[in-house]
Amino acid sequence: MIIVLKSGATEEQISHIVDKAQKLGLKANISRGVEKTVIGLIGPEDVLRVTPLEVFPGVEQVIPVLAPYKLVSREFQPKNTVIKIKDGIEIGGTKIAMIAGPCAVENYEGLRRIAKFVKAAGCNILRGGAFKPRTSPYDFQGLGEEGLKYLKEVGQEFDMATVTEVMDSRDIDLVSKYVDVLQIGARNMQNFSLLKGVGATYKPVILKRGISATVKEWLMSAEYILANGNFNVMLCERGIRTFETMTRNTLDINAVPLVKQLSHLPILVDPSHATGRWGLINSVSKAAVAAGCDGLLVEVHDNPEEALSDGPQSLVPKNFENLIKDLKRIADAVDRTI
């Protein structure tokens, strides 16, 4: 249920509604806009139906939320959410974010070289895995905290925000200490204890779509994070598993405009994991921008042949530069910027 308050609603009236909701066993989430303040109430539907919310002082309108994902829905917040990553870096506005870097942080010097390249090309968010969930237990699993330290140091040197995956709720505090954005990988999309954990932080979160997850299941996972207090969530389409074997996954380009209709949260696209083939990344990225995505996650490596993970889907720096140039033309055509 959404309560839209009158423009002149006082803090006392807002507190009164929140206190009443809590006494009824409901959870209240306040969203303050420029002109209006709205309160989203989460809880048993029967309580919401019999409580005369319209009579409360300061209430202008009460709107039932029909979607099972309440806080994520556009019914709760019609305007696009814009998430501040750090000073001067936002995701969800007219500027399309470019998040680039190696699949895994392999060593300090290699990460620094790649960061220098992508920063010069126009990217201001550095990605790199410190903890790597791999299909095989014998593959490189990441450097752990050492890799986190490299990310923080390199990010500070080049004035870039940093992104890495957190795999375990026990590691949330550790990872949060070093990076600006927490990433929930596809395999953990329905790890509900992990979702609740990142929901208890104020860190921006990238939530990747599960390998076989529906859009509804994906949005419900985002709801877990918002319901625990963290509204700084970005969704990331990274391809789903289908019968096709020529690419690593199948990018669901439909998901981009569909999520835009259903949710106010920013949506990103990961063309690297979607295709698994570097030669397809340019075309798929252009399609994603044309479809309305708010950002791209692209894997870049200066020596893909020797990469410890995902070399076949990594762009060399020159190809990343060309990608940025091509995307600028597409972005301009849809009234966005890179």
CA gap 321, 327 in Å, rounded: 10
Q: 128-137, pLDDT tens digit by residue? A: 999 866 567 7
- Domain limits, the chain: 2-63, 83-333
Q: What is the DSSP letter of 95?
A: B
Of residues 244 and 78, more confidently modeled: 244
Of residues 65 and 337, more confidently modeled: 337
Domain spanning 2-63: CATH 3.30.70.1140: yes
Contact (CB, 8 A) for 79 and 266: no
Q: 139-197, pLDDT tens digit by residue? A: 666 788 999 999 999 999 999 999 999 999 999 999 999 999 999 999 999 999 999 99
Domain spanning 83-333: CATH 3.40.50.970: no
